[in-house]
């Protein structure tokens, strides 16, 4: 009796462990296709993930650059107005000592941009023109205070520098900001 139970359990085990499929071609073809499908699926998923990560990084950089340029635009606009106010004050008060009226240009954003990784994503034209504006204003004011330049010479030069900054550089920077904003809107990024 014991032998019969043992034989029937062996048969059941052999039926469960039937390896005859391993020698059939269909089995191996199926396994090869499964392997190819798995590798291809992983490859395609990683490619899509990589492209999405790159696109996200580009959009994030564009958004950061927009805010940086917007802040720079506002700061330079305020400084242009400060130069105009300085000229107006000097013309109205005609002080002997110009150093008491020295214009204090705000350069927090400009100075902070030195440490921002997004600064060099700003078109170099804007950076160069703003740098030149600050240098020109500083030079004209200093030479005016030292009386190297007379008021009738350096005051109109300050107004020219302010006009050029406002009409050329700031106008172009504003257009660049509008282009960035439109590009971000295409990617469903809300600005402001």
Distance CA 180, CA 20 (A): 66
pLDDT at 3 over 60: no
- The total of other beta-carbon atoms located within 10 Å of residue 166's CB is 17
The confidence score (pLDDT) of residue 13 equals 54
Distance CA 151, CA 143 (A): 10
The predicted-structure confidence for 142-174, as pLDDT tens digits, reads as follows: 999 999 998 899 999 999 999 999 999 999 999
Distance CA 61, CA 120 (A): 11
* 110 contact partners, CB below 8 Å, separation of at least 6: 72, 75, 76, 130, 134
The predicted-structure confidence for 105-143, as pLDDT tens digits, reads as follows: 999 999 999 998 888 889 999 999 999 999 999 999 999
């Amino acid at each position: 009796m014991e032998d019969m139970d043992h034989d029937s359990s062996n048969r059941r085990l052999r039926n469960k462990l039937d390896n005859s499929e391993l020698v059939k071609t269909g089995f191996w073809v199926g396994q090869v296709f499964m392997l190819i499908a798995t590798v291809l699926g992983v490859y395609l998923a990683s490619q899509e993930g990589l492209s999405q990560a790159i696109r996200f990084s580009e959009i994030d950089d564009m958004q950061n650059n927009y805010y940086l340029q917007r802040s720079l635009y506002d700061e330079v606009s305020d400084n242009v107005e400060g130069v105009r106010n300085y000229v107006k004050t000097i013309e109205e008060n005609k002080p002997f000592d110009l150093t008491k009226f020295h214009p204090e240009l705000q350069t927090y954003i400009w100075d902070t941009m030195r440490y921002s990784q997004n600064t060099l994503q700003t078109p170099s034209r804007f950076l160069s023109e703003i740098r030149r504006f600050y240098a020109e204003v500083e030079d004209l004011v200093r030479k005016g205070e030292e009386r190297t330049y007379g008021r009738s010479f350096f005051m109109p030069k300050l107004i020219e520098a302010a006009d050029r900054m406002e009409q050329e550089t700031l106008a172009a920077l504003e257009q660049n900001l509008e282009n960035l904003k439109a590009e971000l809107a295409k990617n469903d990024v809300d600005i402001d």
